[in-house]
Amino acid sequence: MTGADRGRTNGSRGSNGTGLKLPAVQSTTRRNETTELLRRAFLRGELVPGQRLKEIELCAALNITRPTLREAMGQLIHEGILVQVPYKGVSVAELSPEEILDVAEIRFALESQAALRIAKQEDGHGLAALRQALNDHIEALDAGDEVEADLAHLELHRVMYEASDSPLLTRIWPLIAARIQMAIMTDYAARHDPARDKELHTRLVSVIENGDETEIVDEIRRHVIESAEEIVYVIGSRIARTP
């Protein structure tokens, strides 16, 4: 922690008239806490896709220095949650309706193969890993922790790729993880519905466990393609209602 950071930890909130309802950072692990707080702000709709981040405002709201904020933003840029545009600064990444559907189509093809491979495993090791990932996701949802639920959601899909025992799917995952995370976060921010989330993933794992290939592909289609189409509709409806 820098001397400037230590000298600015007084007070529990640092909105300073900015209107952002973000708690001031108090932890010694300031970069990690700042990163998590920004994630939570996105999930709660306080930071929206396309919004430009104003460093002075955020530093005041979070009670941190610019170097700390920039380190946190750098991590989120690496993850694909934020984007940096030359001469324009940093803003929250946004997926266009076309990109949301494009990500969904690619996920459908890849995750159908992953799920089918897991269903065919004789010893059930992939299914066991998937069940554990589902349990972790449900625990985070039940705890009401948006960030942990988001990370556990992403982890469940990572497990699906890696538990498939496909070297190619395992290598593909790091290349598309950031886009999948953005799609998940966009869905979560647009329609916060933990009960639906739990139901969808419980049913998905159950269908994979049953092993019927047609049902597995149909469920992946509902889980990925139809969900993407729904979120595009939700976003479009909100835009239409905006004055």
Average confidence (pLDDT) over 64-78:
91
State yes or no: pLDDT of 7 exceeds 50. Answer: no
Is 118 found in the same domain as 22?
no
State yes or no: pLDDT of 16 exceeds 70. Answer: no
163: pLDDT confidence band, cut at 50, 70 and 90?
A: very high
Residue 215: CATH number of its domain: 1.20.120.530
Per-residue model confidence as pLDDT tens digits over 168-203: 999 999 888 878 888 887 787 777 789 999 999 999
Is 111 found in the same domain as 72?
no
State yes or no: pLDDT of 208 exceeds 60. Answer: yes
Is 125 found in the same domain as 191?
yes
Of 197-201, 211-215, 229-233, least confident by mean pLDDT is 229-233
Which domain, by its residues, includes 47?
A: 3-92
Is 86 found in the same domain as 11?
yes
Structure tokens at 113: 């193969």
Is 208 found in the same domain as 119?
yes
Long-range contacts of 57-62 (CB under 8 A, 24+ apart): 57/18, 57/20, 58/20, 58/22, 60/14, 60/15, 60/16, 60/18, 61/14, 61/15, 61/16, 61/18, 61/20, 61/22, 61/24, 62/14, 62/22, 62/23, 62/24, 62/25, 62/34, 62/37
Picking from 77, 92, 107, the residue at the C-terminal end of a domain is 92
15: pLDDT confidence band, cut at 50, 70 and 90?
A: very low
Q: How many domains does the chain have?
A: 2
Is 174 found in the same domain as 58?
no
SS (H, E, C) 76-99: HHHHCCEEEECCCEEEECCCCHHH
Residue 41: CATH number of its domain: 1.10.10.10
Q: Torsions phi, psi of 20, nearest 5?
A: -80, 130
Residue-level pLDDT at 50: 85
Q: H/E element holding 103?
A: helix 97-120
Is 226 found in the same domain as 162?
yes
pTM over cut 0.85: no
Is 130 found in the same domain as 68?
no
State yes or no: pLDDT of 45 exceeds 80. Answer: no
Q: Torsions phi, psi of 16, nearest 5?
A: 50, 40
Q: Torsions phi, psi of 84, nearest 5?
A: -115, 120
Picking from 62, 92, 122, the residue at the C-terminal end of a domain is 92
Is 78 found in the same domain as 23?
yes
Is 48 found in the same domain as 132?
no
Share of the chain above pLDDT 90, in %: 52
Picking from 28, 59, 92, the residue at the C-terminal end of a domain is 92
Residue-level pLDDT at 184: 82
Is 157 found in the same domain as 68?
no
Q: How far apart are CA 211 and CA 126, in angstroms?
A: 13
Is 120 found in the same domain as 23?
no
Q: How far apart are CA 14 and CA 11, in angstroms?
A: 7
Residue-level pLDDT at 10: 45
Per-residue model confidence as pLDDT tens digits over 84-137: 988 889 998 888 889 899 999 999 999 999 999 999 999 999 999 999 999 999
Over the chain, what is the mean pLDDT? 85
Q: How far apart are CA 115 and CA 208, in angstroms?
A: 6
State yes or no: pLDDT of 222 exceeds 70. Answer: yes
Beta strand 89-92 pairing with 82-85:
antiparallel
